[in-house]
């Protein structure tokens, strides 16, 4: 559905987006995650045809963005970070105006506006001036204009930015519902947003993709936390003898159980080796205080990628100075 190949955008000496490539299939909900200034908005503007790339290509439904910008924009619904709303207009008036811009025939305006308002929970507010709406409902208006023409692709830039917790939950629910009929790319720097909404995450750091993976795979458990008595002799070495255990390291005293220590065990394979660990503990006479899988959080994954990126960047700068 979406094909991005070696897409770059350069402003003078600064590369805002650097040779980005990825594919998005029909029906996916993909989160574009990155820190502020990572290049997310620039990338989205190139995909939607609002910015021309310095190099590379982007196509939607087989239509090239540079060669046929209008052909691409007919297929997408775009909600920029600060959606341009005409506050003096009533919601219905604004949506009818946007339907005109989208080329929807006037005899179909009513049906399309009602469908978009129903999908976004705006039917009660159709006659209200946009200026009187809360920020959460203005975001709903931005979403409604993006889906008026029943697009195949929805591109949403920071859709919950500035909303309160209740509004965030509501907008997340709306996005999930809208994704039943459209492919969705949403950008955010808010980690829980990705975990709550997306099937897949693309992590962008300083204009470069550092990770592209299904969320379930990225956050798959590969660690077991084990609590055993502090006087267990050679525990880490013995645990490493298990075939599926790749590393075993002591983390220190167990705060939940005095006299016990915690070990972190990384394993390979799809199933945590809890039965094998329990059998070894029984064989060696260790009492198990607790044992459980530990799943990484997206915050941890993102932090590790940021640290690695900074280290590579610093090493590159050091080489330049040395040269």
Other Cβ atoms less than 10 A from the Cβ of 140: the count is: 24
Quick one: pLDDT band at residue 317, thresholds 50, 70, 90? Answer: low
- Is residue 165 predicted with pLDDT exceeding 90? no
Query: At 136, which helix (H) or strand (E)?
Result: helix 135-147
- Strand pairing category for 2-11 and 260-267: unpaired
Domain extent at residue 267: 223-294
Residues 159 and 254 in one domain: no
Mean local confidence (pLDDT), 258-271: 88
The DSSP call for residue 130 is G
Residues 163 and 272 in one domain: no
Distance CA 146, CA 121 (A): 14
Residue closest to 195 by CA, chosen among 299, 104, 311 = 299
Residues 125 and 36 in one domain: yes
- Is residue 322 predicted with pLDDT exceeding 70? no
Residues 80 and 200 in one domain: yes
pLDDT in tens, 185-232: 999 888 888 888 999 999 999 999 999 999 888 887 778 999 999 988
Question: Is 300 part of a structural domain of the chain?
Answer: no
Question: Is 120 part of a structural domain of the chain?
Answer: yes
Residues 195 and 237 in one domain: no
**Angle between helix 165-178 and 135-147 (nearest 10):** 10
CATH code for the domain of 163: 3.40.50.300
Domain boundary residue, one of 198, 218, 238: 218
Backbone conformation region of residue 97, classed left if phi is above 0, alpha if psi is from -120 to 50, else beta: alpha
Distance CA 258, CA 261 (A): 8
Per-residue tokens: 63: 């239509």
Query: At 318, which helix (H) or strand (E)?
Result: helix 298-322
Distance CA 260, CA 251 (A): 11
CATH code for the domain of 229: 3.30.70.1340
What pLDDT shows up at residue 312?
A: 79
Residues 289 and 175 in one domain: no
Question: Is 40 part of a structural domain of the chain?
Answer: yes
Residues 157 and 47 in one domain: yes
Residues 151 and 289 in one domain: no
Specify the pTM: 0.77
Question: Is 284 part of a structural domain of the chain?
Answer: yes
Residue closest to 181 by CA, chosen among 157, 159, 150 = 150
Residues 23 and 89 in one domain: yes
Domain boundary residue, one of 175, 190, 218: 218
Quick one: pLDDT band at residue 319, thresholds 50, 70, 90? Answer: low
Residues 212 and 250 in one domain: no
Residues 124 and 252 in one domain: no
Strand partners, 247: 266
Residues 163 and 241 in one domain: no
Residue closest to 186 by CA, chosen among 204, 173, 170, 198 = 198
269 SS3 class: coil
Considering its fold, how many domains does the chain have in total? 2
Domain boundary residue, one of 218, 243, 258: 218
């Amino acid at each position: 559905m979406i094909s991005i190949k070696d897409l770059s955008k350069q402003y003078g000496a600064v590369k805002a987006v650097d040779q980005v490539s990825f594919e998005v299939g029909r029906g996916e909900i993909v989160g574009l995650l990155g820190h502020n200034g990572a290049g997310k908005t620039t990338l989205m503007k190139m995909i939607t045809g609002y910015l021309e790339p310095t190099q590379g290509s982007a196509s939607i439904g087989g239509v090239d963005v540079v060669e046929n910008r209008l052909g691409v924009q007919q297929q997408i619904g775009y909600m920029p970070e600060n959606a341009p709303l005409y506050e003096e207009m009533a919601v219905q008036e604004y949506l009818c105006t946007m339907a005109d811009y989208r080329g929807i025939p006037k005899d179909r305006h009513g049906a399309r506006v009602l469908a978009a308002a129903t999908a976004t929970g705006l039917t009660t507010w159709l006659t209200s001036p946009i200026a009187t709406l809360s920020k959460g409902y203005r975001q709903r208006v931005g979403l409604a204009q993006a889906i008026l023409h029943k697009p195949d692709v929805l591109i949403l830039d920071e859709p919950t930015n500035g909303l309160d917790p209740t509004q965030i939950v509501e907008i997340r629910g709306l996005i999930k519902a809208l994704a039943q009929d459209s492919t969705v790319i949403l950008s955010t720097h808010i980690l829980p947003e990705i975990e709550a909404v997306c099937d897949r995450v693309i992590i962008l750091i300083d204009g470069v993709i550092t990770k592209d993976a299904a969320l379930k795979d990225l956050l798959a458990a590969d660690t077991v936390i084990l609590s055993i008595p502090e006087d267990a002799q050679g525990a880490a070495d013995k645990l490493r003898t298990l075939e599926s255990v790749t590393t075993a390291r002591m983390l220190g005293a167990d705060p939940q159980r005095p006299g016990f220590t915690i070990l972190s065990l990384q394993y390979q394979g799809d199933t945590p080796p809890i039965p094998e660990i329990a059998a070894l503990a029984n064989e060696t006479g260790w009492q198990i205080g607790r044992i459980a899988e530990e799943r990484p959080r997206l915050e941890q994954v993102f932090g590790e990628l940021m640290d690695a990126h900074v280290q590579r960047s610093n090493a590159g700068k050091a080489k330049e100075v040395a040269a």
